[in-house]
Amino acid sequence: MTTRMTTMRWATAFGATMVLALAGCSGGDDGGSSSDDPIVVGISLPLTGDFSEPGKGVQRGYQAWAKIVNDKGGLLGRQVELKILDDQSNADRVVSDYEQLIGQDQVDIVVGPFSTRLVVPAARVAEEYGMLFVEPAGAAKEVFEQGFKNLFYAAPAVADDHYNHLAEYILGLPAGQRPATAAYAAMDDPFAQGTAYGLKKKLEEGGVRTVVDEVYPPNTTDFSGIAAKIASSKADIVVGGSQYQDGVNLIVALQQLDYQPKLAAFSTAPTSPEFAAAIGNKTEGILAPTGYTQKAPYPSNVEFVEKYTAQFGSPPEEDEANAYTTGQVVAAAVTAVGCAEQGECQQKLVDWVRNNTVETVVGPLSWDATGKPQGAHMIQQWVGGEIQIVLPADAKETDIVYPKPAW
Amino acid sequence: MPSASDLTRTAVRPGFTPGRVARGVLLVALVAAVASFPSLAPNPYILSAGIVVLNYALLSTSWNFVGGFTGYISLGHGALAGLGAYGTGLLVTRAGVPSFLALVIAALAVAALAVPIGYAALRVRGASFVIVSIALVLVLLLVFQSWASFTGGSRGLTVPRPFPDLLRPEHHRVFWFLFAGLLAVALLAWWLIDRSRFGLGLKAIREDEDKAESLGIPTFAYKLVVFVVSAGFTAAAGGLYALWFGDLDPVFQFSILTGSYMVLMALLGGVRTLFGPLLGALVVGTALEYFKVEYGNTPLHLVATGLLLALVVLFMPDGVLPALAAGLDRFRPAQQSIREVTAAELREQRERDAASPELAGASPGAPSTKERP
Amino acid sequence: MSSGALIFQSVVLGVLLGGLYALLASGLTLYFGIMRVVMIAHSAFLILAAYLAWWSHTRLGVDPLLSLVVTVPLFFGAGVLLQRLLLSRLRPATLTMMSVLLTFAIAVVIEGLLGYAFTGTQRRIQLGYGAANLELFGARIAVVKLIAFGLAAVALLTLYLLLKKTTFGWSLRATIQHRDAARLVGIDTDRVAGYGFGIGLATAAVGGTALALDTTIYPSLHWHWIGPLMAIIVVGGLGSVPGAAAAAMLLGLTQSLLQIPLNTTWAQTIFYLALFATLAFRPQGFFGGRLAQRF
């Protein structure tokens, strides 16, 4: 039994050392903050894995925010330092990251990660350590149903309200023009599905009959089956609760079947800079909601677009803007309350955000008791080979085209 | 009643040898280290990282009931853990069952479910078993994603805390001991099976299933029983994780990577040893953290994990530590028992013999492994 | 369009999908026949080939079909090396189990490297004829899908002729049926096994290119493919190429038709239901390789 014995001995000895080593390999980080210390902002982001692309966008947004703040002398006279961890798009990781940021690294402020799936577990950690948690990406209504008291979503509207202006427009059409039937296809994702179902609920209440209601898993790559169902239903309008690539695939599959709806609305995908090329420039008339536009006239946005472009070489997209907005909200609270550290300060920050309106790159933001922002998204449409704002009427760059031309 | 393995053991090392005493001392030291870790941990993060490693250890020890005893490699144990987690979570949220009762019910239910799964998977050998184990993960992922009205789908399922009044650091401390306790039970069960006739029969399956069957061992029943035990422990581990972690998402609960980590940890530490998987979990748990820190912004951590697995499989299929120990053993007097010779080694030996014609006549079907030259 | 037309449309889509499944499953079947190896990395190589096709289209501007000229020989060579250098090193007694782990490790490495080289972003080849379609008795067939199907059909036919009509095919089939006997009649089974692996992997190269024509690719996509493929080879009877092809067609068609009453996710579960049912009631598969009896 020598082998066994040796292994056992090895195992126990090694086990004990490892446990002790693990216990010993930390400490020392007792984050006493003086006025010269930088304000450390802890963030966990999906830099690898499924959400890595938007995750990197959010990272750039935060970096731009830190640079712009620091160039002006920082917050409360202290420099802002970002501490970014990679959560690999994994909920287990995101929780341990925030544990590490709050418990071990003693960061002064935490802000949110990307994607609804990761926001909820992360927000719970922040909540239980009593930290303010402003986040750029948890748009689904579930996020606000968890009873979080410290969470604020830094964007104009939650997913279900993205299409509010479009719903109003459709239901306001004269009876003869109003669509009678609608087909919905949504990714099985709280955010994407939220957008489509928000519109579906309003249209159904307004009497537009649902003829197709498909939900597909995030990893779906072949959309021909779904497209066949939609095409054969001959629905007047098609609504896609999509992220990026699934939206592109669904549109191409619908075009392959020569389906021509009167209106086609897809979330996220059509606002991407690569969208037109991805579907072979057959974009005419496609609609999409957006929470951010580079052309928005708010003063901080003009500064953001200019400095961001100087720093990264291209103008910011919605993910970058949301992260920047998050930074703006935190900065406003810190400046007003006059502190930024763990402990009692956090509750003061929470109370301040709850009771105030913050001017941001997406306009003035305020929140209800659950942290839900009180606004709606603008609606953009591809008109003349360019995506332009068509709704609401007071912000429009051009008139909405309905029914849409053939694609 | 002494089993055959006891006889060998006694024959080799009677009484309280220094080795045995040392082992006892180290075991006590291990228990002491586990018991004192929560008070040594400087902050809640270290404690929560420790719980993650402990959870890995528990999972790979549970996996090792099947992998270690029968040699059947299951890549699908992640699915059983996920079922345990969701079972517990759903019982608590939908049926209002108290947390820990829900955990027990879920573990038993998964064990019961393991009977038909095992029936389909174990009737066939090798390849089909692996295919079924992978398919199990993939199909459960689809089901738990699609059946959103029941499971919450991709919106996830929030499992309420069993101790809502505890602060987070206290919560970690309690769960550290719960995980350690369950791990101790799993290790004890493994140790008991290892020393029993049942365990001997299982190991016979691992070495040569046909011969085991011809010796009258009810191989199918044995495999099924140990699979069910393994599933029960895995599900309990998943359930405990659900109660600790609180947020379940099908993508992370039904992931092939989880199952493959279990295999990697067990193989690395050595599947034939009681503490092998535990040790493997310490190494892999730390390595995963290290890969992440080192290659944080790239998916190279996947590459590192893959390469590690490939190296273990190619060069040290019995585990790194057993391989090291075997290296040391070359300098000691040879002591052989039936357990030390795998069918693979035997077959290689036979092939060597077959290659030299004068031995070929004597060797095929050599009945006793003990006569190994 | 009536529901009859929808059914016909689904049948057409199912057949097109089944063709691709058949090609890929035949590769998996080959490995299994030759070495009793369940090659988890098959679909990872499939995605790798798809990425190479995408890369050569986007970066070099060549038609994705032309990338086959490079990928097919490359993958054939990789297959031979994989078998000779890695898989043949494993101990025979634990070969089946350990090869699963080894090929699993290879799959994870490929996924990681793809992610490193091309990031996790979903990619799609943008072809001028991407949305072009033909009409056939009321059903619409996308041109790209037709090309993909044609590619799969040609590759399968080539494979069939290679196995049935050439001396090499004869040796390969002999090796699959009885390795020792094949060696006795003078076949260099090691070399044949290596080439067999190469051919198997070459099917992944063709399949990957066909796949890249009309779907999105991303590094972890291979998990999405390996499940259905494994189900197909079990249902078809492990080790039987015609069985795999028949099962692939059948399951592809069923999946496509099931999407009419169910949603896409539930339709996918048909593969796993078929797999579990096959193992519970007829472990040797429905188109029966003899090999399947014991594995």
Chain A interface, mutation test: which of C11, C43, C144, C263, most A Cβ atoms within 10 Å? C263
Q: Which position has the higher pLDDT, C73 or A407?
A: C73
Lowest mean pLDDT among A285-294, C11-20, C89-98: C89-98
CATH code that applies to domain A39-157+296-365: 3.40.50.2300
**Where residue C134 falls among pLDDT bands split at 50, 70, 90?**
confident
Q: Is residue B116 part of a domain?
A: yes
Lowest mean pLDDT among A343-352, B100-109, C255-264: C255-264
Domains of chain C in sequence order: 3-289 (1.10.3470)
CB proximity list for A267: less than 8 A, separation 6 or greater: A162, A192, A195, A196, A240, A241, A242, A243, A247, A288, A289
CB contact under 8 A, A26 and B43: yes
B40 touches chain A (CB under 8 A): yes
CA distance A346 to chain B (A): 17
Task: Classify each residue of B30-64 as buried b or exposed e, where b means 16 or more C-beta atoms within 10 Å of its C-beta.
Answer: beebbeebbebbbbbbbbbbbbbbbbbbbbbbbbb
Domain count of the fold of chain B? 1
Reading the block at residue A201, the tokens are 């609920």
Query: How far is the CA of B222 from the CAs of B197, B206, C240, in angstroms?
Result: 11, 11, 31
Task: Provide the 10 A C-beta neighbour count for residue B204.
Answer: 20
Collapsing DSSP to helix, strand or coil, A33 comes out as coil
CB contact under 8 A, B134 and C40: yes
Does this chain's domain A39-157+296-365 share its CATH topology with A161-290+378-395? yes
Which is nearest to B136 in space by CA: A393, C275, C39?
C275
Query: How far is the CA of B42 from the CAs of A24, A44, A100, A380, in angstroms?
Result: 8, 22, 12, 52
CB contact under 8 A, C113 and B317: no
Q: Is residue B93 part of a domain?
A: yes
Residue A32 is classified by DSSP as -
Q: Which position has the higher pLDDT, B359 or A152?
A: A152
Collapsing DSSP to helix, strand or coil, A145 comes out as helix
Residues of A in contact with B332 (CB under 8 A): 2
**Where residue A139 falls among pLDDT bands split at 50, 70, 90?**
confident
pLDDT digits (tens, 9 = 90+) for A167-214: 999 999 998 889 999 999 998 888 888 899 999 999 999 999 999 998
Phi then psi dihedrals of residue C252, to 5 deg: -60, -45
Residues of C in contact with B345 (CB under 8 A): 91
Which is nearest to B252 in space by CA: B117, B58, B89, B65?
B89
Instruction: Choose among A14, A24, A27: nearest Cβ to B279.
Output: A14
Residue C29 confidence (pLDDT): 86
Give the CA-trace dihedral at B200, B203, B204, B209, to 10 degrees: 140
CB proximity list for A207: less than 8 A, separation 6 or greater: none
Between CA B231 and CA B239 the distance in angstroms is: 12
CB contact under 8 A, C126 and A277: yes
Q: Is residue B198 part of a domain?
A: yes
Residue A337 predicted with pLDDT over 80: yes
Q: Is residue B71 part of a domain?
A: yes
Domain edges within chain A: 39-157+296-365, 161-290+378-395
C220 touches chain A (CB under 8 A): yes
CA distance A28 to chain C (A): 35
- Give the chain B residue nearest C219 (alpha carbons): B299
Between CA C104 and CA B118 the distance in angstroms is: 22
Reading the block at residue C142, the tokens are 């996308």
Give the pLDDT mean for A60-88: 91
Between CA C29 and CA C240 the distance in angstroms is: 6
Residues of A in contact with C1 (CB under 8 A): 231-232, 234
Q: Is residue B96 part of a domain?
A: yes
Between CA A121 and CA A96 the distance in angstroms is: 10
CB contact under 8 A, C126 and A217: no
Which is nearest to C98 in space by CA: C25, C32, C37?
C37
> For domain A161-290+378-395, which CATH number applies: 3.40.50.720, 3.40.50.2300, 3.20.20.70, 3.30.70.920?
3.40.50.2300
Instruction: Tell me the pairing of strands A237-241 and A263-266.
Output: parallel
Give the pLDDT mean for C191-208: 90
CB contact under 8 A, A125 and B53: no
Residues of A in contact with B49 (CB under 8 A): 22, 96, 99-100
- Give the chain B residue nearest A127 (alpha carbons): B168
A226 touches chain C (CB under 8 A): yes
Q: Is residue B88 part of a domain?
A: yes
**Where residue A278 falls among pLDDT bands split at 50, 70, 90?**
confident
Task: Classify each residue of A56-80 as buried b or exposed e, where b means 16 or more C-beta atoms within 10 Å of its C-beta.
Answer: bbbbbbbbbbbbbbeeeebbeebeb
CA B107 to chain centre: 16
Task: Provide the 10 A C-beta neighbour count for residue A310.
Answer: 10
8 A C-beta contact, residue B33 and residue A11: no
B123 touches chain A (CB under 8 A): no
CB proximity list for B358: less than 8 A, separation 6 or greater: none
Per-residue pLDDT tens listing for chain B (373 residues): 444 444 444 444 455 677 778 888 888 888 888 888 888 888 888 888 889 899 999 999 999 998 888 888 888 899 999 999 999 999 999 999 999 999 999 999 999 999 988 887 777 666 778 888 888 898 998 889 888 788 887 778 888 888 888 888 888 999 999 999 999 999 999 999 988 888 888 888 888 888 888 888 888 888 899 999 999 999 999 999 999 988 888 888 898 888 888 888 888 888 888 888 998 898 888 877 777 666 655 677 788 888 988 988 888 877 777 777 777 766 655 544 444 455 556 566 666 655 544 433 333 333 333 333 3
Residue with tokens 């993910």: A319
Instruction: Choose among C90, C265, C279: nearest Cβ to B132.
Output: C279
- Give the chain A residue nearest B322 (alpha carbons): A7
ipTM for the predicted complex comes to 0.84
DSSP string, B21-50: HHHHHHHHHHHHHHHHHHHH-SSHHHHHHH
Three-state SS for A158-208 is: CHHHCCHHHHHHHHCCCCCCCCCEEEEEEECCHHHHHHHHHHHHHHHHCCC
Reading the block at residue C224, the tokens are 């999405």
CB contact under 8 A, A95 and B325: no
CB pairs under 8 A between A and C: 99
8 A C-beta contact, residue B153 and residue B147: yes
Q: Is residue B52 part of a domain?
A: yes
Q: Which position has the higher pLDDT, A10 or B97?
A: B97
Three-state SS for B218-248 is: CHHHHHHHHHHHHHHHHHHHHHHHHHHHCEE
Instruction: Choose among A7, A95, A103: nearest Cβ to B322.
Output: A7
Phi then psi dihedrals of residue C141, to 5 deg: -120, 125
Strand partners, A133: A110, A151
Which ranges constitute the DSSP H helices of C59-94?
A: 68-81
Which is nearest to A229 in space by CA: A206, A208, A213?
A213
Between CA C124 and CA C216 the distance in angstroms is: 5
Give the pLDDT mean for A215-238: 87
**Where residue C123 falls among pLDDT bands split at 50, 70, 90?**
confident
CB contact under 8 A, C142 and A256: yes
CB contact under 8 A, C295 and B125: yes
C269 touches chain A (CB under 8 A): no
Residues of A in contact with C216 (CB under 8 A): 221, 245-246, 248-249
CB contact under 8 A, C216 and A249: yes
Give the pLDDT mean for A101-123: 88
A48 touches chain C (CB under 8 A): yes
Residue A19 confidence (pLDDT): 44
Instruction: Choose among C130, C132, C264: nearest Cβ to A226.
Output: C264
| Residue numbers of the domain that contains B207 | 40-256+270-276
Residues of B in contact with A12 (CB under 8 A): 23, 26-27, 29-30, 275
Residues of A in contact with B35 (CB under 8 A): none
**Percent of chain C predicted with pLDDT > 70:** 96
Residue B57 confidence (pLDDT): 94
Between CA A340 and CA C165 the distance in angstroms is: 78
Residue A286 confidence (pLDDT): 94
Strand partners, A39: A80
